[in-house]
Amino acid sequence: MDRLLIFGLGYSGTAIARAATGFAVIATSRSGGGDAIPFDAAGPAIAEATHILTTAAPDAHGDPVLARYQAAIAAAPKLRWIGYLSSTVVYGNRDGAWVDEDTPPAPSQPRGRRRLEAEQAWARFGDRCRVDVFRLGGIYGPHRSVLDDLRTGTARRMVKPGHRFGRIHRDDIAQAVAAAMRQPSVPGMRVFNLTDDEPTESAEVVTEAAALLGVDPPPAVAFADALPAMSPMARSFWAENRRVASAKTKAALGISWLYPTYREGLRAILAEERGNRPP
């Protein structure tokens, strides 16, 4: 049986583990426990893995998985496929223009440069196995969406006309990664954009979510008024504006998004919470 090792059994990693039917799955967490093994004890699993997926983000010191296990991964005798969950931040600011899978990365911030460096480091394994890089938009899904923010009173309806960005539902991440794993493992690197079909202003999503819950949306806040009090992370998000296309990804993987826009995604989350999610 093919064996999948997932570095990072977090929100996306857990969904991918569920979607990886036909694989024997083992996953790591920092401390282990539950269904995971400790990160520092992954050596034997690497040696047995046919597929490795990493969800860990790089920090100022680089990619944490490669820092610990690069030699072990390079020596793994059964390894045929590596998947790396990256971010669309590598495309940098495009002033609202479209980018796709063939657009050269041009990160404009440190976190984007760290992501690109990690992609390039993983790509070096492409001479011996398949390396698939997945560039994710804003991740949302059950228990991690604007619906939760509205319920807790933390949602903000920020208005910055023309600032649109793509999102991706957790289940669409899982189906894309599972589809890639099941394709022939020809050595080389591929890039996939995991973003929905309708990049949208944040305020529109908040308004739609409020309507679904039957509550009033929070007051509109002009971006210029909110900027002075923003955290560095929030400032970095709002400083970049791009629309990311994923048509080539869907064609290459033979899939369609389960939730092509935030509208379908939010409705599905609400249906799941109420116990009547479609099969």
> Which pLDDT tens digit goes with each residue over 236-254?
999 999 999 999 999 999 9
The pLDDT of residue 278 is above 70: no
**Mean pLDDT within 20-38:** 89
Q: Residues for the chain: how many in total?
A: 279
CA-closest candidate to residue 44, choices 56, 55, 28, 60 = 28
What's the confidence (pLDDT) of residue 179?
A: 98
The strand pair at 36-38 and 24-29 is best described as parallel
- pLDDT score at 275: 82
- What percent of the chain has pLDDT above 90? 94
For residue range 38-84, what is the model confidence (pLDDT) as tens digits?
A: 999 999 999 999 999 999 999 999 999 999 999 999 999 999 999 99
pTM of the full predicted structure? Answer: 0.95
pLDDT tens across 190-225, in order? 999 999 999 999 999 999 999 999 999 999 999 999
Token pair for 132: 């698939």
**For 122-140, how does the pLDDT look when each residue is reduced to its tens digit (9 = 90+)?**
999 999 999 999 999 999 9
pLDDT beyond 70 at 17: yes
What mean pLDDT do residues 83-109 have?
97
For residue 276, the model assigns a pLDDT of 66
Q: Could you read off the pLDDT of 100-110 as tens digits, one per residue?
A: 999 999 999 99
Q: Is residue 193 helix, strand or coil?
A: strand
* pLDDT score recorded for residue 34: 75
1-20: average pLDDT: 96
pLDDT value at position 279?
42
The alpha carbons of the chain give a radius of gyration, in whole angstroms, of 19
Distance CA 111, CA 170 (A): 22
The one-letter amino acid code at 131 reads V
Q: Does residue 274 register a pLDDT over 90?
A: no
Mean pLDDT over the full length of the chain: 95
Evaluate whether 86 touches 58 at the Cβ level (below 8 Å).
no
Q: What is the mean pLDDT of residues 152-176?
A: 96
Can you tell me the distance from the alpha carbon of 126 to that of 64, in angstroms, rounded to the nearest whole number?
Answer: 19
How confident is residue 277, by pLDDT bands cut at 50, 70 and 90? low
Neighbours of 5 (CB within 10 A): 25
Helix/strand/coil percent split, the chain, to 5? 40, 25, 35
Domains, the chain, ordered by start: 3-273 (3.40.50.720)
